[in-house]
Structure 1
Amino acid sequence: MAFNFKTSHFKFSKSQRYGIFLLILIIIALQSVYFYVDNSQPEIRINQEELAKFQKEIDSLRADEIEKRAPKIYPFNPNYITDYKGYTLGMRNEEIDRLLAFRNQGNWINSVKQFQEVTKVSDSLLHQISPYFKFPEWVTNLKPNKNSTYTNKPKTFAQKRDLNTATAKQLQQINGIGDYYSKKIIQFRNKFIGGFIADVQLQDVNGLTPEVIANITQEFTVKTPRQIQKINLNTATVDQLVTIQHIDYNLAHNILEERHLREGYKSLDELTKVKGFPINKIEIIKLYLSLD
């Protein structure tokens, strides 16, 4: 039996054969280009001197930016250091407590040396913060006189007038307080039935500087504090916490989350570890809280 191998599948016209031949030539040409063309990358030469100069400039700009963002320290009277102020200055809790205990006894610090004797801060920290100490004029201008007794001393609690009953006219006698700020203080006080709870609430009166507040508290103090029901921090709900000044719903949720992680707060100062907590307002917030 004979087989016919002739088939039309492998028959090409002249133009088709020419096209196949041309395609093979193109493939060969491309392969030659791939193997013979130099694909190596040119060597990049780095000017190390210019690079070091550029890096030094970047480091300088970074250092300037860090310095700009660092908290600024302004002159202050060390007698009025609060927990928050002491924390920002780098003082330890026990050092702050010694200062507050000393002040609560009606005593005043009148020199850098006495500040260290009372607080027992390290020499390095004292050297860092003491240039910012600003004592009142009656201390800095005091000239010893063996034949006379200096009587211009800070007023005791009993000698001070009640901040909750002070009039605008009385407040205007304070250096730095005019008609505008005396009215602002009274307007803020009158927002609460019963007035201020403590002197620290003066920080919430917009525009009052720490120096002016210090001047006020040398003559006035809260003698008849507004009575409030403190909230137990370890059992408080979100709805209870948002009734406190400077606490919104986000912060209240963060406070409860931190409480869960800590299995309860041991100290009100632990609130400073809460995400987004306004550390500069902690002394005011603490007025409304307890751990009982």
Structure 2
Amino acid sequence: MKLNKSHFEIHRRFRNGILLLTILMFLLILVLCFFPNSTNSSNNLVALTKYQSQIDSLKNEAFNKKKEYNLRPFNPNFITEYKGYVLGMSTDELDRLYVYRKKEKWINSVWDFKKVTGVSDSLLAVISPLFKFPDWVQNSKKSKPYKKVQYPVKSFAQKEDLNGVTSKEFQEIIGVPDFIADRIVKRRDRLNGFISDLQLKDVVGLYENQRKKILSFYTVKTNTKFKKININNASVKELMEVPYFDFETALEIKDFIDEHEGVSSFEELGKIEGFSLEKIDRIALYLELN
């Protein structure tokens, strides 16, 4: 009589085989855990070598382009960021050039390029021989020298009073823009009338040739009643009566004069920190030393 055997019963030889297979798989897992990159190291080395060769190729290409740029003349109005880098310009210098060009202004000379970008003299000496300007710029430099405009010469009696000219007259007779004419009148009103032709220099935006044209037709005739102030004896309140002084300026001048026991010339005020002598010729109209 045959006994029924379980389907899950395994022969002893098979059990030994399964045990050996289990041990081998366990050892393989241990190897993979402790040496995970061993199989990829060679592949990584190949990839890195290939990547480095690409970098070297790009470097060589950039170097060759740099040589080409150094040998090729160019218009300095159209310098790209890359070309600026090749030429040795800083980002700040390029930014100043781009801001200038956005205002629809043009670089027409080496001096213009230096003034706008602020590049060093050493760099300018290297790159300026490569500048190539349009033909019309080159031709304009060869044109005849500019002749100064000659305005009519009038005597004091023939001239009109500068303190009586209207904004409309400035526009129609002199030809200054309306906003400049308005500035002249506003400045005159703020000063309670001009006391000297020099005060036209205070008008922002009034060009030298326009000022000369105005003074060929007009001059100050009706001086405002202003008694000059003795700067060595003046109080802060008196100094503030000068249209060019605010409270802080008047206080600094007073302290400076007291410390130095007076001044012998108005130019000495330039020793005060922050004091500009740019308008000293107009300031002196309201002051005296003795």
TM-score, structure 1 length as denominator?
A: 0.45
Query: Rg larger in 1 or in 2?
Result: 2
Question: What TM-score, normalized to structure 2?
Answer: 0.45
Higher RCO, 1 or 2 (CA under 8 Å, sep at least 6)?
1
